[in-house]
Amino acid sequence: MVSSLVIRQATMWLELLQSGKSIVPDLSGFSKPKKFSFERFMDVSKSFFYDAISSHTKILKELQTLRLENELLRENCKHLVRKNQRLVYEVSHDSLTGLYSRRYFDFYSEQACQKATLMGSSLSLLVIDIDHFKDFNDTYNHQAGDQLLRSFGLCLRSAVQSPGSLIARYGGEEFVAVLPDHDQLAALTIAQRVHKVVKALGITVSIGIACHAQDGNTALSLFRCADLRMYNAKRNGRVRIEVCNCL
Q: What is the DSSP letter of 209?
A: E
Handedness of CA 149, 90, 116, 170 (dihedral sign): positive
173 is catalytic: yes
From residue 221, how far is each of 63, 164, 205, 226, 230 by CA, in Å?
63, 21, 22, 9, 14
The span from the CA of 113 to the CA of 117, in Å, is 6
Distance CA 144, CA 136 (A): 8
Among 122, 145, 127, 141, CA closest to 201: 145
Beta-bridged to residue 129, according to DSSP, are 174, 206
Count of C-beta atoms within a 10 Å radius of residue 10: 11
Catalytic hit among 62, 173, 174, 242: 173
Q: How far is CA 175 from CA 78, 125, 238, in A?
A: 35, 11, 16
Report, as residue numbers or ranges, the catalytic residues: 173
